[in-house]
């Protein structure tokens, strides 16, 4: 393995606590108020926060523009974090390591993988080269093999790299890829058609068939739960529907299925928590944590009778994931309102930006000059604004969607029309900012009506 950088960071540790004393009691993530505030504020700053329940620990993890966070809640409490020189695009997590895929701000402008040990805070950074046409919204790591989604003229495929830069394997499928994820140290590829494959070592193994365009969430060791309410075993591929369950509040534990019905958390038929303002439910062996919108949490045992009193917290803030179907732009996030950004924002994406708009004119609409980066992480100072550019403003990170610019060259031309037609017939689905850019009439969907308007407005 080639290691490019090796560091050690300070980890915020909770002094040893007896688990039994914490049961049925509101837990603070640190024994000192200042330490608790650090963790809560750190997670609150993240663009996305994800849950992970496993037999080795229960975690919340997320990222800001340049910092990866991993907070272990069960069985002990620990916060680890690492800051990179660049822009983080996506994150992943196993029971032992947290990972970040990021575009380096160094002179090489390469894409790198950060690997952080969640037990001691040590981390390393590995180059995997310049990815070019890659979808960096998800990735996975299995051992020393890192997986990303790349595209060619026909379909997207998975390209793997040895941590350190060498290309290893190309994984091709008969349909377009939706996303990558990992369970423990095993990587998985999910297709838009719902087919799920285990990948690694140059081979792929069919696991299960999910609903079309499903979004998977961790649901305990060896299980995922989707936004289409399917619980799937990653071991034998058996699936079942759990109607009405929230993906962030559903875990399959050894003591039964843990779910939230809107007013309480149940393990099987037994109520273990009351509360309607939960953001996440996590489990670790016999322990269960109900996490609230301020990232404090309650803990209890799954195999003991309990009936916690309701928490009087303010309504949960919006920790929704960016879940979308093939044409609908957003399913569970309303537009975000920002008084400092002169454009509408949806799912951390600035949209309704006119095609062929110059960078200087775009900058002139802001009170303070923002920072702009291209898909390789390099600063941009001139030219046209393009779909897929990243804006850094007020210490927040936003992707940009230019109306009609589907091929990400900053203009609306005939090749964008062709890309939209391929999307509509299912040959090459659009994702991310390109899908938002296809919503030309701003009605929240990418449809034939948008195609007609784009064809009329396209440059001749």
Domain enclosing residue 365, as ranges: 345-457
Q: Is residue 327 part of a domain?
A: no
Is 249 in the same domain as 112?
Answer: yes
For the cut 50, the answer to whether the pLDDT of residue 322 exceeds it is no
Q: Are 94 and 55 in contact (CB under 8 A)?
A: no
Domain boundary pick from 301, 335, 353: 301
Give residue-wise pLDDT tens across range 215-237. 999 999 999 999 999 999 999 99
Residue 303 DSSP one-character state = T
Domain boundary pick from 279, 301, 323: 301
Is 167 in the same domain as 48?
Answer: yes
Is 141 in the same domain as 248?
Answer: yes
Q: Is residue 120 part of a domain?
A: yes
Q: Please give the residue that has the higher pLDDT: either 326 or 157.
A: 157
Q: Is residue 310 part of a domain?
A: no
Q: Is residue 105 part of a domain?
A: yes
How would you classify residue 208: left for phi > 0, otherwise alpha for psi between -120 and 50, otherwise beta? beta
Number of domains in the chain: 2
Q: What is the pTM of this model?
A: 0.67
Q: What percentage of the chain carries pLDDT values higher than 70?
A: 83
Residue 428, pLDDT score? 85
Is 279 in the same domain as 180?
Answer: yes
For the cut 50, the answer to whether the pLDDT of residue 7 exceeds it is no
For the cut 80, the answer to whether the pLDDT of residue 2 exceeds it is no
Q: In this structure, what CATH number is given to the domain that contains residue 176? A: 2.130.10
Residue 20 DSSP one-character state = H
Length of the chain: 460
Is 218 in the same domain as 80?
Answer: yes
Q: Is residue 339 part of a domain?
A: no
Is 371 in the same domain as 238?
Answer: no
From CA 330, how far away is CA 291, in angstroms rounded?
25
Is 27 in the same domain as 148?
Answer: yes
Domain boundary pick from 276, 301, 326: 301
Is 367 in the same domain as 250?
Answer: no
Is 191 in the same domain as 250?
Answer: yes
Q: Is residue 400 part of a domain?
A: yes
Residue 16 DSSP one-character state = P
Is 408 in the same domain as 274?
Answer: no
Q: Is residue 167 part of a domain?
A: yes
Neighbouring CB atoms inside 10 A of 423's CB total: 22
Q: Report how far apart, in Å, the C-alpha atoms of 181 and of each of 89, 186, 348 are.
A: 14, 9, 21
Q: How many CA atoms lie within 13 A of 319 on its CB side?
A: 27
Q: Is residue 311 part of a domain?
A: no
Q: What is the mean pLDDT of residues 403-425?
A: 92
Is 239 in the same domain as 366?
Answer: no
Among candidate residues 317, 318, 283, the one with its CA nearest the CA of residue 302? 283
Is 30 in the same domain as 173?
Answer: yes
Neighbouring CB atoms inside 10 A of 160's CB total: 24
């Amino acid at each position: 393995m080639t290691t490019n950088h090796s560091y050690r960071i300070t980890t915020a540790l909770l002094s040893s606590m007896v688990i039994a004393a914490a049961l049925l009691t509101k837990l603070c993530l640190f024994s000192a108020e200042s330490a608790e505030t650090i963790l809560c504020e750190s997670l609150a700053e993240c663009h996305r926060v994800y849950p992970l329940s496993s037999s080795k620990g229960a975690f919340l993890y997320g990222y800001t523009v340049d910092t990866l966070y991993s907070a272990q809640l069960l069985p002990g409490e620990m916060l680890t974090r690492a800051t990179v020189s660049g822009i983080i695009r996506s994150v992943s997590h196993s029971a032992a390591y947290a990972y970040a895929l990021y575009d380096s701000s160094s002179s090489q402008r390469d894409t790198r993988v950060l690997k952080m040990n969640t037990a001691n805070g040590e981390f390393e950074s590995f180059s995997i080269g310049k990815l070019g046409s890659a979808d960096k919204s998800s990735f996975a790591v299995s051992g020393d093999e890192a997986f990303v989604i790349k595209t060619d003229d026909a379909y997207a495929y998975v390209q793997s790299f040895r941590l350190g830069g060498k290309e290893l394997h190309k994984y091709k499928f008969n349909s377009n890829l939706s996303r990558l994820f990992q369970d423990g140290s095993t990587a998985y590829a999910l297709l838009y058609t719902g087919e799920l494959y285990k990948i690694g070592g140059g081979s792929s193994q069919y696991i299960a068939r999910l609903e079309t365009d499903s979004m998977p969430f961790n649901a305990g060791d060896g299980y995922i739960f989707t936004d289409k309410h399917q619980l799937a075993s990653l071991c034998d591929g058996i699936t079942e529907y759990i109607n009405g369950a929230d993906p962030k509040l559903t875990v399959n534990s050894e003591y039964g299925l843990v779910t939230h019905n809107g007013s309480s958390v149940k393990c099987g038929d037994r109520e273990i928590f009351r509360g309607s303002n939960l953001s996440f439910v996590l489990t670790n062996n016999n322990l269960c944590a109900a996490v609230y919108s301020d990232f404090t949490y309650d803990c209890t045992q799954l195999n003991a009778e309990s009936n916690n009193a309701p928490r009087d917290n303010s309504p949960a803030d919006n920790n929704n994931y960016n879940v979308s179907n093939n044409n609908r732009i957003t399913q569970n996030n309303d537009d975000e309102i920002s008084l400092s950004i002169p454009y509408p924002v949806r799912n951390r994406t600035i949209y309704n930006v006119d095609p062929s708009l110059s960078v200087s004119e775009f900058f002139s609409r802001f009170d303070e000059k923002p920072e702009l980066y291209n898909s390789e992480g390099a600063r941009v100072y001139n030219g046209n604004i393009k779909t897929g550019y990243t804006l850094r403003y007020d210490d927040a990170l936003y992707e940009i969607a230019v109306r009609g610019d589907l091929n990400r060259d900053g203009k609306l031309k005939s090749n964008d029309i062709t890309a939209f037609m391929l999307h509509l017939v299912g040959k090459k689905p659009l994702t991310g900012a390109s899908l938002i850019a296809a919503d030309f009439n701003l009605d929240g969907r990418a449809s034939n009506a948008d195609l007609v308007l784009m064809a009329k407005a396209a440059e001749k």
